[in-house]
Homo-oligomer: A and B are copies of this chain.
Amino acid sequence: MNRFALIGVAGFVAPRHLRAIRDTGSQLVAAVDPHDSVGVLDQYFPEARYFSEIERFDRFLEKQRRKKEPIDWVSICSPNYLHDAHVRLALRVGANAICEKPLVINPWNLDQLSELEQEYEHRVFTVLQLRLHPALIALRDRVQRSSNHAEVCLTYISRRGPWYHASWKGSQEKSGGLAMNIGIHFFDLLLWLFGAAEVSEVHLVTPDKMAGRLELARATVRWFLSVDEQDLPSGVRSAGKTGFRSLRINDEEIDFSEGFTDLHTRLYEAALAGHGFPIEEARPSIELVHRISHNAVVPARGAGHPSLSP
């Protein structure tokens, strides 16, 4: 049985990891979070040790290693800017890491993690669960069989209240900003579907929305990301919904609204079987988002996402 430890157990994404650990027949032996509101442990792993300080958690994991019973895996759901530090912790105590997206905020930290993987002889996998979505796998097959250059329009709007900007997620330094925190899944998806980015233009940047255009190997993409409720299509708002996700390829809407429930579990199964998403798979989207985050904003000149036109 695989033995896990988890970093960030009080956060909102932790339950998906706890469930994946349980549903893959694995065991959680320890968890850490500076915030001690972690009753969720009782639901999944009532025997798990809990620590409110990373140093004490590290002591526990190190003890397991010295007893020749190292933890097999460390799951990492801490704030983005701490991911690489917590991956190092995992490797040092003799465990593999499964780390939430984005694996790192700054691409050059990927090289460090790669070298540490080698040095410590353990693996680092990241969470790119959209690549496990059946509808998107089917789409990719179709795209790869086609020889056409596609016209893609990606829209992702997910309302967040004022708390978002007052939390670490609203800090460029801690989350990597909107394109990194909200957008990384979609940029990874686009690169995975349509190949490398040749051109990136950014047309709009505010604290709560961003838009731009990408020329990928096999597609031109106009994209729009927002956490501002005002951007929701009126029909969506009046239906009381708070999010909107649309991927249009050559004017065909791709439906992937279902099938999200157990992607973390699928991802854990893959990782435990040794074919999770390794560092190099995380790299293209992190490099692209880093580039987008540092792009100067330029006018769309008619080539931008439809949301930009009045």
Residues of A within 8 A of B (CB): 10-12, 31, 34-39, 41-42, 45-56, 58-59, 62-63, 66, 81-82, 84-86, 88, 92, 109, 112, 115, 159-164, 166-169, 229, 242
Contacts and interface: CB of A to CB of B under 8 A. Distances in A.
Given A47-B161, A55-B82, A85-B56, A66 B112 contact: yes
Contacts of A52: 166-167
Nearest to A165: B50
Given A12-B37, A37-B35, A66-B112, A59 B84 contact: yes
Contacts of A109: 59
B10 A46 contact: no
B112 A42 contact: no
A162 B82 CA distance: 21
Given A58-B88, A62-B112, A112-B63, A48 B162 contact: yes
Given A88-B62, A112-B63, A161-B46, A51 B12 contact: no
Given A10-B10, A55-B86, 4 more contacts: A36-B167, A50-B167, A62-B88, A92-B92
Contact of A50 (B11, B35, B88, B163): B163
B166 A46 contact: no
For A55, A84, A242, the residue with the greatest tally of chain B CB atoms inside 10 Å of its CB is A55
